[in-house]
Chains A and B, each alone.
Chain A
Amino acid sequence: DTGVSQNPRHKITKRGQNVTFRCDPISEHNRLYWYRQTLGQGPEFLTYFQNEAQLEKSRLLSDRFSAERPKGSFSTLEIQRTEQGDSAMYLCASSQPLGDEQFFGPGTRLTVL
C-alpha cells in the first residue's frame, strides 16, 4: 500500500501521560500536514512541514505539542502531559511539491481518560 500510513490507529492513555504518533507520507510527497478532528467537527489544521522544515503552526498547537520531521520523510507528533481535551482523531496528510490535493492517512484516535 503506497498511501499515507499512521501509527498507532488507536491510543488510550491516562491524563498526564505523554503520547507520540507517527505518520509516514507518500514517498514522493515533500509536504506533510497534521490536523485534529473532534467528534462531529471537520478537521482543523495543526502544523505543516515542507521537507524537514516546520513552516507553520496553528494556535491550537500549545506548548505541550511538538511535531518533528527529522529527515523529511516520516513525522512524529508528541503530546506531553495529556489532558482530556486532547481526545480527538489526529490526521496526517501529504501532498506533492506542486499539488493542491492532500492525501490523508487513516488517523490516530486518541482517548485520554
Chain B
Amino acid sequence: SQQGEEDPQALSIQEGENATMNCSYKTSINNLQWYRQNSGRGLVHLILIRSNEREKHSGRLRVTLDTSKKSSSLLITASRAADTASYFCATDWEIQGAQKLVFGQGTRLTINP
C-alpha cells in the first residue's frame, strides 16, 4: 500500500498561474522528495526536504514540510506548458541502510496555454 496521498489528483490551470499540490503521509520520515513524471516516462527528481527543514526553494519550486501534520506542499510559480506532468511525493523507509521510496498516487498537472 502507498503511504503518501497527493491532493488534488488532477489540476488544470492557465499558463502563468501558480500550481499547488499537497501530500500527506502516515509515518515518521527522514526526508520527503518530490518527483516529476512526463507521460509514460521515468521520474525526474525535483527536490528533497529533510525532516528538520520547513521550507526549501529551487528555481520556481517551493516545498514546505509540516511534520506535525505529516504533510508537504509543492508550489510551482509562473507555470509553463512544459510543467505539464504528474507530480509525486515520496517518503523514505529505511531498509538495510538505504532508503526505499514510498510514493503517493500523484497529482496530474495540466498547464493550458
Contacts and interface: CB of A to CB of B under 8 A. Distances in A.
A56 B43 contact: no
Given A40-B105, A105-B42, A48 B95 contact: yes
A45 B96 contact: no
Interface stretch (A63-71, A75-83, A94-102): A94-102
Interface string B24-36: 0000001101010
A42 B4 contact: yes
B105 A45 contact: no
A40 B104 CA distance: 11
B98 A44 contact: no
Nearest to B30: A100
Nearest to A4: B42
Contacts, number: 72
B102 A107 contact: no
A83 B50 CA distance: 40
Nearest to B101: A102
A41 interface: yes
Interface residues on B, range: 20 to 34
A86 B70 CA distance: 33
Contacts of A35: 101
B84 to A, nearest CB: 16
Interface string A19-38: 00000000000010101000
Contact of B103 (A43, A55, A101): A43
A106 B90 CA distance: 18
Nearest to B88: A42
Contacts of A100: 30-31, 33, 48, 92, 99
23 contacts: A6-B42, A31-B98, A33-B100, A41-B2, A42-B88, A42-B106, A43-B101, A43-B103, A48-B95, A48-B100, A56-B95, A93-B43, A100-B33, A100-B48, A100-B92, A101-B33, A101-B48, A104-B43, A104-B44, A106-B41, A106-B42, A107-B41, A109-B40
